[in-house]
Structure 1
Protein backbone atom coordinates (compact mmCIF):
# COMPACT_ATOMS: atom_id res chain seq x y z
CA UNK A 1 0.00 0.00 0.00
CA UNK A 2 1.28 3.45 -0.93
CA UNK A 3 -0.31 5.73 1.65
CA UNK A 4 1.09 8.93 0.17
CA UNK A 5 2.16 9.62 -3.39
CA UNK A 6 3.22 12.85 -5.07
CA UNK A 7 2.68 13.35 -8.79
CA UNK A 8 4.23 16.29 -10.64
CA UNK A 9 3.24 16.91 -14.26
CA UNK A 10 5.12 19.53 -16.31
CA UNK A 11 4.55 20.81 -19.84
CA UNK A 12 7.83 20.79 -21.78
CA UNK A 13 6.45 21.34 -25.28
CA UNK A 14 3.60 20.56 -27.65
CA UNK A 15 2.86 19.05 -31.05
CA UNK A 16 0.28 19.93 -33.69
CA UNK A 17 -1.98 17.34 -35.32
CA UNK A 18 0.14 14.27 -34.51
CA UNK A 19 0.72 12.79 -31.06
CA UNK A 20 4.16 13.02 -29.46
CA UNK A 21 6.66 10.43 -30.67
CA UNK A 22 9.80 10.04 -28.48
CA UNK A 23 11.80 9.04 -31.59
CA UNK A 24 10.91 12.30 -33.38
CA UNK A 25 11.66 14.90 -30.74
CA UNK A 26 12.44 17.49 -33.43
CA UNK A 27 8.70 17.78 -34.17
CA UNK A 28 7.98 19.00 -30.63
CA UNK A 29 7.51 22.76 -30.42
CA UNK A 30 9.09 24.54 -27.48
CA UNK A 31 7.06 26.71 -25.12
CA UNK A 32 9.45 29.62 -25.67
CA UNK A 33 11.82 30.89 -28.36
CA UNK A 34 14.80 30.25 -26.10
CA UNK A 35 15.35 27.63 -23.42
CA UNK A 36 12.84 28.50 -20.67
CA UNK A 37 14.11 28.84 -17.10
CA UNK A 38 10.85 27.51 -15.70
CA UNK A 39 7.99 25.28 -16.88
CA UNK A 40 4.28 25.25 -16.01
CA UNK A 41 3.61 22.29 -13.76
CA UNK A 42 0.93 20.79 -11.54
CA UNK A 43 1.50 18.90 -8.30
CA UNK A 44 -1.04 16.35 -7.10
CA UNK A 45 -1.05 14.24 -3.96
CA UNK A 46 -2.83 10.98 -3.39
CA UNK A 47 -2.58 7.27 -2.58
CA UNK A 48 -2.26 4.02 -4.45
CA UNK A 49 -1.74 0.27 -4.53
CA UNK A 50 1.28 -1.42 -6.09
CA UNK A 51 1.04 -4.98 -7.39
CA UNK A 52 4.23 -6.95 -8.05
CA UNK A 53 4.32 -10.12 -10.15
CA UNK A 54 6.65 -13.12 -10.33
CA UNK A 55 8.99 -11.95 -13.07
CA UNK A 56 10.46 -15.41 -13.56
CA UNK A 57 7.04 -16.93 -14.21
CA UNK A 58 6.13 -14.11 -16.62
CA UNK A 59 9.37 -14.57 -18.56
CA UNK A 60 8.71 -18.31 -18.86
CA UNK A 61 5.14 -17.67 -19.99
CA UNK A 62 5.99 -15.16 -22.72
CA UNK A 63 8.42 -17.66 -24.32
CA UNK A 64 5.54 -19.97 -25.26
CA UNK A 65 4.92 -20.18 -29.00
CA UNK A 66 1.18 -19.59 -28.69
CA UNK A 67 1.81 -16.42 -26.66
CA UNK A 68 4.31 -15.17 -29.25
CA UNK A 69 1.88 -15.91 -32.08
CA UNK A 70 -0.93 -14.06 -30.32
CA UNK A 71 1.31 -11.07 -29.67
CA UNK A 72 2.48 -11.01 -33.30
CA UNK A 73 -1.15 -10.81 -34.39
CA UNK A 74 -1.71 -7.84 -32.08
CA UNK A 75 1.44 -6.11 -33.28
CA UNK A 76 0.72 -5.86 -36.99
CA UNK A 77 3.43 -5.52 -39.61
CA UNK A 78 2.86 -1.77 -39.78
CA UNK A 79 3.18 -1.48 -36.01
CA UNK A 80 6.41 -3.50 -35.99
CA UNK A 81 7.95 -1.18 -38.56
CA UNK A 82 7.07 1.93 -36.52
CA UNK A 83 7.92 0.51 -33.11
CA UNK A 84 11.39 0.29 -31.62
CA UNK A 85 12.06 -3.42 -30.81
CA UNK A 86 13.84 -2.28 -27.64
CA UNK A 87 10.72 -0.47 -26.39
CA UNK A 88 9.52 -2.10 -23.17
CA UNK A 89 5.97 -2.05 -24.55
CA UNK A 90 7.02 -4.34 -27.40
CA UNK A 91 6.50 -7.36 -25.17
CA UNK A 92 3.65 -9.81 -24.35
CA UNK A 93 4.42 -9.14 -20.69
CA UNK A 94 3.44 -5.50 -21.13
CA UNK A 95 0.13 -6.45 -22.75
CA UNK A 96 -0.64 -8.72 -19.79
CA UNK A 97 0.29 -6.12 -17.16
CA UNK A 98 -1.56 -3.36 -18.98
CA UNK A 99 -4.75 -5.37 -19.46
CA UNK A 100 -4.73 -6.68 -15.89
CA UNK A 101 -4.28 -3.12 -14.63
CA UNK A 102 -7.47 -2.13 -16.46
CA UNK A 103 -9.46 -5.06 -15.07
CA UNK A 104 -8.22 -4.29 -11.53
CA UNK A 105 -9.25 -0.63 -11.86
CA UNK A 106 -12.73 -1.71 -12.94
CA UNK A 107 -12.91 -4.06 -9.97
CA UNK A 108 -11.59 -1.44 -7.51
CA UNK A 109 -14.22 1.06 -8.63
CA UNK A 110 -16.89 -1.24 -7.24
CA UNK A 111 -15.30 -1.45 -3.77
CA UNK A 112 -13.24 1.69 -3.13
CA UNK A 113 -15.92 4.34 -3.56
CA UNK A 114 -14.21 5.99 -6.53
CA UNK A 115 -15.35 6.25 -10.12
CA UNK A 116 -13.23 4.46 -12.70
CA UNK A 117 -12.15 7.82 -14.14
CA UNK A 118 -10.52 8.71 -10.79
CA UNK A 119 -7.75 6.14 -11.23
CA UNK A 120 -4.45 6.39 -13.08
CA UNK A 121 -2.01 3.61 -13.90
CA UNK A 122 1.74 3.19 -14.19
CA UNK A 123 3.08 -0.01 -15.73
CA UNK A 124 6.53 -1.24 -14.67
CA UNK A 125 7.71 -3.68 -17.32
CA UNK A 126 11.30 -4.69 -18.07
CA UNK A 127 13.89 -7.44 -17.77
CA UNK A 128 14.02 -7.14 -14.00
CA UNK A 129 10.59 -5.80 -13.12
CA UNK A 130 6.93 -6.62 -13.54
CA UNK A 131 4.38 -4.57 -11.65
CA UNK A 132 1.47 -2.15 -11.84
CA UNK A 133 0.79 0.94 -9.75
CA UNK A 134 -2.79 2.13 -9.55
CA UNK A 135 -3.33 5.45 -7.81
CA UNK A 136 -5.69 8.35 -7.39
CA UNK A 137 -4.62 11.93 -6.71
CA UNK A 138 -5.97 15.40 -6.06
CA UNK A 139 -4.57 18.92 -6.30
CA UNK A 140 -5.57 19.70 -2.71
CA UNK A 141 -2.91 19.55 0.00
CA UNK A 142 -4.73 16.73 1.74
CA UNK A 143 -4.74 14.51 -1.33
CA UNK A 144 -7.36 11.78 -1.45
CA UNK A 145 -9.34 10.46 1.51
CA UNK A 146 -7.67 7.09 2.07
CA UNK A 147 -10.39 4.91 0.58
CA UNK A 148 -8.05 3.17 -1.85
CA UNK A 149 -5.41 2.22 0.72
CA UNK A 150 -8.17 1.16 3.11
CA UNK A 151 -9.18 -1.58 0.66
CA UNK A 152 -5.76 -3.17 0.94
CA UNK A 153 -5.14 -2.84 4.66
CA UNK A 154 -4.03 -5.91 6.60
CA UNK A 155 -6.91 -8.19 7.51
CA UNK A 156 -9.28 -6.68 4.95
CA UNK A 157 -10.50 -9.33 2.53
CA UNK A 158 -11.62 -6.80 -0.06
CA UNK A 159 -8.26 -6.69 -1.86
CA UNK A 160 -8.49 -10.44 -2.41
CA UNK A 161 -12.00 -10.02 -3.73
CA UNK A 162 -10.78 -7.27 -6.06
CA UNK A 163 -8.10 -9.51 -7.59
CA UNK A 164 -10.31 -12.59 -7.86
CA UNK A 165 -13.04 -10.52 -9.48
CA UNK A 166 -10.54 -8.98 -11.91
CA UNK A 167 -9.32 -12.41 -13.05
CA UNK A 168 -12.81 -13.87 -13.32
CA UNK A 169 -14.18 -10.92 -15.28
CA UNK A 170 -11.25 -11.08 -17.69
CA UNK A 171 -12.52 -14.45 -18.88
CA UNK A 172 -15.75 -13.14 -20.33
CA UNK A 173 -17.38 -10.03 -21.75
CA UNK A 174 -20.98 -8.98 -22.25
CA UNK A 175 -20.10 -8.58 -25.93
CA UNK A 176 -18.91 -12.19 -26.26
CA UNK A 177 -18.50 -14.13 -28.44
CA UNK A 178 -17.72 -11.16 -30.69
CA UNK A 179 -15.16 -9.60 -28.32
CA UNK A 180 -13.20 -12.77 -27.51
CA UNK A 181 -13.27 -14.08 -31.08
CA UNK A 182 -12.32 -10.89 -32.92
CA UNK A 183 -9.10 -11.04 -34.94
CA UNK A 184 -6.36 -8.82 -33.40
CA UNK A 185 -4.73 -8.02 -36.73
CA UNK A 186 -7.99 -6.44 -37.92
CA UNK A 187 -8.68 -4.38 -34.78
CA UNK A 188 -7.66 -0.73 -34.63
CA UNK A 189 -5.56 0.19 -31.62
CA UNK A 190 -3.39 -2.94 -31.60
CA UNK A 191 -5.70 -4.88 -29.30
CA UNK A 192 -7.11 -8.38 -29.05
CA UNK A 193 -10.04 -9.37 -26.86
CA UNK A 194 -10.79 -5.89 -25.53
CA UNK A 195 -13.72 -3.51 -25.93
CA UNK A 196 -15.61 -0.80 -24.02
CA UNK A 197 -17.63 -3.44 -22.19
CA UNK A 198 -14.64 -5.21 -20.61
CA UNK A 199 -11.18 -3.63 -20.83
CA UNK A 200 -11.24 -0.09 -22.21
CA UNK A 201 -11.22 2.82 -19.74
CA UNK A 202 -11.38 6.62 -19.93
CA UNK A 203 -8.15 7.72 -21.62
CA UNK A 204 -7.19 9.82 -18.59
CA UNK A 205 -6.76 6.53 -16.70
CA UNK A 206 -4.62 4.81 -19.29
CA UNK A 207 -0.93 5.44 -19.92
CA UNK A 208 -1.11 4.12 -23.47
CA UNK A 209 -4.36 5.51 -24.94
CA UNK A 210 -6.29 2.22 -24.61
CA UNK A 211 -3.95 0.30 -26.92
CA UNK A 212 -2.08 -2.98 -26.33
CA UNK A 213 -4.94 -4.66 -24.47
CA UNK A 214 -5.99 -8.31 -24.67
CA UNK A 215 -7.99 -10.27 -22.09
CA UNK A 216 -6.70 -13.51 -23.58
CA UNK A 217 -3.28 -12.66 -22.10
CA UNK A 218 -4.78 -12.78 -18.59
CA UNK A 219 -6.78 -16.00 -18.39
CA UNK A 220 -8.82 -18.46 -20.40
CA UNK A 221 -11.41 -16.87 -22.70
CA UNK A 222 -13.71 -18.13 -25.44
CA UNK A 223 -10.88 -17.41 -27.87
CA UNK A 224 -8.22 -19.55 -26.20
CA UNK A 225 -6.31 -20.54 -23.07
CA UNK A 226 -2.92 -18.85 -23.36
CA UNK A 227 -3.42 -16.48 -20.41
CA UNK A 228 -0.73 -15.97 -17.79
CA UNK A 229 -2.89 -17.05 -14.85
CA UNK A 230 -3.89 -20.24 -16.65
CA UNK A 231 -0.16 -20.91 -17.17
CA UNK A 232 0.78 -19.86 -13.62
CA UNK A 233 -1.54 -22.43 -12.03
CA UNK A 234 0.27 -25.24 -13.84
CA UNK A 235 3.69 -23.60 -13.37
CA UNK A 236 3.29 -23.28 -9.59
CA UNK A 237 2.24 -26.93 -9.27
CA UNK A 238 5.20 -28.01 -11.38
CA UNK A 239 7.64 -25.99 -9.24
CA UNK A 240 6.17 -27.26 -5.95
Structure 2
Protein backbone atom coordinates (compact mmCIF):
# COMPACT_ATOMS: atom_id res chain seq x y z
CA UNK A 1 0.00 0.00 0.00
CA UNK A 2 1.34 3.44 -0.78
CA UNK A 3 2.13 5.50 2.29
CA UNK A 4 1.58 8.83 0.56
CA UNK A 5 -0.31 10.09 -2.43
CA UNK A 6 1.14 12.94 -4.41
CA UNK A 7 -0.46 15.04 -7.11
CA UNK A 8 1.62 16.79 -9.68
CA UNK A 9 2.47 17.64 -13.22
CA UNK A 10 5.52 17.69 -15.38
CA UNK A 11 7.18 17.87 -18.76
CA UNK A 12 9.21 14.99 -20.21
CA UNK A 13 11.76 15.65 -22.94
CA UNK A 14 13.32 12.81 -24.94
CA UNK A 15 16.49 13.35 -26.95
CA UNK A 16 17.40 11.89 -30.35
CA UNK A 17 19.83 9.05 -29.81
CA UNK A 18 21.70 9.59 -33.09
CA UNK A 19 22.54 13.20 -32.24
CA UNK A 20 23.73 12.33 -28.73
CA UNK A 21 25.79 9.40 -30.02
CA UNK A 22 27.55 11.65 -32.55
CA UNK A 23 28.17 14.28 -29.88
CA UNK A 24 29.67 11.76 -27.43
CA UNK A 25 32.27 10.73 -30.04
CA UNK A 26 33.53 14.26 -30.78
CA UNK A 27 37.22 14.72 -29.80
CA UNK A 28 36.56 17.85 -27.72
CA UNK A 29 33.79 16.05 -25.80
CA UNK A 30 36.10 13.10 -25.11
CA UNK A 31 38.75 15.54 -23.87
CA UNK A 32 36.25 17.32 -21.60
CA UNK A 33 35.02 13.98 -20.27
CA UNK A 34 38.60 13.04 -19.40
CA UNK A 35 38.96 16.21 -17.29
CA UNK A 36 35.60 15.79 -15.54
CA UNK A 37 36.17 12.08 -14.92
CA UNK A 38 39.63 12.71 -13.42
CA UNK A 39 38.13 15.25 -11.01
CA UNK A 40 35.37 12.75 -10.18
CA UNK A 41 37.91 10.04 -9.32
CA UNK A 42 39.91 12.46 -7.14
CA UNK A 43 36.76 13.54 -5.29
CA UNK A 44 35.57 9.97 -4.67
CA UNK A 45 38.97 8.64 -3.54
CA UNK A 46 39.39 11.57 -1.09
CA UNK A 47 36.16 10.42 0.57
CA UNK A 48 36.82 6.70 0.42
CA UNK A 49 34.09 6.10 -2.15
CA UNK A 50 34.06 3.80 -5.14
CA UNK A 51 34.30 6.06 -8.23
CA UNK A 52 31.26 5.30 -10.40
CA UNK A 53 31.29 7.82 -13.24
CA UNK A 54 27.72 8.53 -14.45
CA UNK A 55 28.93 9.31 -17.98
CA UNK A 56 29.26 12.41 -20.09
CA UNK A 57 25.72 11.99 -21.39
CA UNK A 58 24.40 12.24 -17.83
CA UNK A 59 26.39 15.45 -17.23
CA UNK A 60 24.95 17.02 -20.39
CA UNK A 61 21.35 16.07 -19.62
CA UNK A 62 21.68 17.06 -15.97
CA UNK A 63 23.05 20.44 -16.99
CA UNK A 64 20.20 20.93 -19.46
CA UNK A 65 17.69 20.03 -16.73
CA UNK A 66 19.10 22.74 -14.46
CA UNK A 67 19.03 25.30 -17.27
CA UNK A 68 15.38 24.46 -17.91
CA UNK A 69 14.43 24.53 -14.22
CA UNK A 70 15.58 28.15 -14.11
CA UNK A 71 13.79 28.98 -17.35
CA UNK A 72 10.58 27.19 -16.41
CA UNK A 73 10.44 28.87 -12.99
CA UNK A 74 10.25 32.26 -14.68
CA UNK A 75 7.31 31.19 -16.83
CA UNK A 76 5.17 28.62 -15.01
CA UNK A 77 4.20 30.06 -11.63
CA UNK A 78 6.23 27.64 -9.50
CA UNK A 79 9.39 28.64 -7.71
CA UNK A 80 12.59 26.96 -8.91
CA UNK A 81 12.79 25.03 -5.63
CA UNK A 82 9.37 23.51 -6.35
CA UNK A 83 10.44 21.99 -9.67
CA UNK A 84 12.30 18.68 -9.39
CA UNK A 85 14.25 16.74 -11.98
CA UNK A 86 14.68 13.15 -13.01
CA UNK A 87 17.41 12.42 -15.54
CA UNK A 88 17.35 9.27 -17.65
CA UNK A 89 20.77 8.74 -19.22
CA UNK A 90 22.55 5.63 -20.43
CA UNK A 91 24.94 5.04 -23.33
CA UNK A 92 25.88 1.81 -25.05
CA UNK A 93 23.47 -1.11 -24.96
CA UNK A 94 19.84 -0.03 -24.41
CA UNK A 95 20.64 3.70 -24.52
CA UNK A 96 18.29 6.29 -23.10
CA UNK A 97 18.25 10.04 -22.92
CA UNK A 98 15.47 12.02 -21.33
CA UNK A 99 14.63 14.61 -18.69
CA UNK A 100 11.51 14.82 -16.55
CA UNK A 101 10.88 18.16 -14.85
CA UNK A 102 7.99 17.89 -12.44
CA UNK A 103 6.34 19.15 -9.33
CA UNK A 104 4.38 17.11 -6.83
CA UNK A 105 2.66 17.84 -3.54
CA UNK A 106 0.33 15.98 -1.18
CA UNK A 107 -2.44 18.52 -1.83
CA UNK A 108 -3.94 20.11 -4.93
CA UNK A 109 -1.20 22.76 -5.11
CA UNK A 110 0.97 20.36 -7.10
CA UNK A 111 -1.37 20.75 -10.04
CA UNK A 112 -1.54 24.42 -10.90
CA UNK A 113 -1.14 23.63 -14.60
CA UNK A 114 1.86 25.87 -15.22
CA UNK A 115 4.31 23.14 -16.18
CA UNK A 116 1.85 21.35 -18.43
CA UNK A 117 1.09 24.59 -20.25
CA UNK A 118 4.83 24.98 -20.98
CA UNK A 119 4.74 21.62 -22.75
CA UNK A 120 2.68 23.09 -25.58
CA UNK A 121 4.60 23.44 -28.82
CA UNK A 122 4.09 27.20 -29.10
CA UNK A 123 5.45 27.80 -25.56
CA UNK A 124 8.14 25.17 -25.07
CA UNK A 125 10.44 26.28 -27.89
CA UNK A 126 10.69 29.95 -26.88
CA UNK A 127 11.18 29.08 -23.20
CA UNK A 128 13.94 26.60 -24.05
CA UNK A 129 15.66 29.06 -26.40
CA UNK A 130 15.63 31.79 -23.75
CA UNK A 131 16.94 29.43 -21.04
CA UNK A 132 19.77 28.19 -23.27
CA UNK A 133 20.69 31.73 -24.28
CA UNK A 134 20.95 32.74 -20.61
CA UNK A 135 23.23 29.74 -19.94
CA UNK A 136 25.86 31.10 -22.31
CA UNK A 137 26.92 33.77 -19.85
CA UNK A 138 27.19 33.66 -16.07
CA UNK A 139 27.55 36.69 -13.82
CA UNK A 140 30.61 34.94 -12.34
CA UNK A 141 32.33 34.60 -15.72
CA UNK A 142 35.14 34.27 -16.60
CA UNK A 143 35.86 32.53 -13.28
CA UNK A 144 32.89 30.14 -13.69
CA UNK A 145 33.48 29.34 -17.37
CA UNK A 146 37.19 28.69 -16.80
CA UNK A 147 36.73 26.59 -13.65
CA UNK A 148 39.06 23.59 -13.66
CA UNK A 149 37.44 20.80 -11.63
CA UNK A 150 40.76 18.97 -11.22
CA UNK A 151 42.38 21.73 -9.16
CA UNK A 152 40.19 21.10 -6.10
CA UNK A 153 38.65 17.76 -7.11
CA UNK A 154 35.17 19.15 -7.81
CA UNK A 155 32.26 17.31 -9.38
CA UNK A 156 31.31 20.12 -11.73
CA UNK A 157 32.88 22.10 -14.53
CA UNK A 158 31.50 25.47 -15.60
CA UNK A 159 28.75 25.74 -12.98
CA UNK A 160 28.10 27.84 -9.89
CA UNK A 161 25.34 29.35 -7.74
CA UNK A 162 24.92 32.22 -10.17
CA UNK A 163 24.15 30.06 -13.22
CA UNK A 164 23.29 26.39 -12.61
CA UNK A 165 23.09 25.31 -8.99
CA UNK A 166 19.56 24.52 -7.83
CA UNK A 167 17.88 23.98 -4.47
CA UNK A 168 18.33 20.61 -2.75
CA UNK A 169 14.67 19.86 -3.38
CA UNK A 170 15.20 20.19 -7.13
CA UNK A 171 18.47 18.37 -7.81
CA UNK A 172 18.76 14.59 -7.60
CA UNK A 173 22.59 14.79 -7.42
CA UNK A 174 23.27 17.64 -4.98
CA UNK A 175 24.45 20.03 -7.71
CA UNK A 176 27.17 17.64 -8.86
CA UNK A 177 27.85 16.60 -12.46
CA UNK A 178 27.05 19.94 -14.09
CA UNK A 179 28.96 21.73 -16.85
CA UNK A 180 27.64 24.58 -19.03
CA UNK A 181 30.55 24.00 -21.43
CA UNK A 182 28.96 20.73 -22.54
CA UNK A 183 25.69 22.45 -23.43
CA UNK A 184 26.73 25.81 -24.90
CA UNK A 185 29.90 27.68 -25.81
CA UNK A 186 31.03 29.83 -22.88
CA UNK A 187 33.65 32.55 -22.45
CA UNK A 188 36.21 29.73 -22.29
CA UNK A 189 35.30 28.81 -25.90
CA UNK A 190 33.62 25.77 -27.41
CA UNK A 191 34.71 22.79 -25.32
CA UNK A 192 32.28 20.37 -26.92
CA UNK A 193 28.99 22.23 -26.69
CA UNK A 194 25.99 20.13 -27.71
CA UNK A 195 24.16 23.25 -28.85
CA UNK A 196 26.91 24.94 -30.82
TM-score band by shorter chain is 0.7 to 0.9
Deviations, residues 7-65 of structure 1 (Å, cap 9, x unaligned): xxxxxxxxxxxxxxxxxxxxxxxxxxxxxxx8x94331100000111111111111122
Q: Give the 3 Å change call, closer, same or farther, for CA 114–100 of structure 1 in structure 2.
A: same
Contact 1:98 1:212 in 2 (8 A): yes
Distance 1:142 1:170, change over 3 A: closer
Which residue among 27, 34, 42 is the counterpart of 1:72?
Answer: 34
> Offset at 1:186?
2.3
Counterpart selection for 1:116 from 80, 97, 112: 80
Rg comparison, structure with higher value? 1
Counterpart of 2:118? 151
> Is the 1:100–1:166 Cα contact (8 Å) retained in structure 2?
no
Say which of 52, 57, 76 aligns to 1:84. 52
Name the structure 2 match of 1:212: 177
C-alpha distance in structure 1 between counterparts of 2:166 and 2:108, whole Å:
27
TM-score relative to the length of structure 2: 0.87
Looking at secondary structure, tell me which structure has more strand per residue. Answer: 1
Q: Which has the higher contact order (CA 8 A, sep 6+)?
A: 2
Aligned to 1:180: 145
CA distances 1:134-163 after superposition (whole Å, capped 9, x unpaired): 001110157412111012235xx3211211
CA contact (8 A) 2:73 2:79 kept: yes
- Provide the secondary structure at the position in 2 that maps to 1:209: coil
Runs of at least 5 residues in structure 2 that lack an aligned partner in the other structure: none
Could you tell me which of 99, 104, 118 is aligned with 1:132?
Answer: 99
> Which ranges of structure 1 fall in alignment gaps of 5 or more residues?
1-37, 231-240
Moved over 3 A (4+): none
What is the aligned partner in structure 2 of residue 48 from structure 1?
A: 10
Residue 197 of structure 1: how far off its partner (Å): 0.4
* Equivalent-residue separation in structure 1 for 2:56 and 2:131 (angstroms): 19
Counterpart position of 1:166: 131
Q: Are the structure 2 counterparts of residues 69 and 80 from structure 1 closer, same or farther at C-alpha, using a change threshold of 3 Å? A: farther
Partner in structure 2 of residue 94 of structure 1: 58
CA contact (8 A) 1:112 1:147 kept: yes
TM value normalised by structure 1: 0.72
Whether 1:229 aligns to 2:195 is yes
**RMSD between aligned alpha carbons?**
2.0
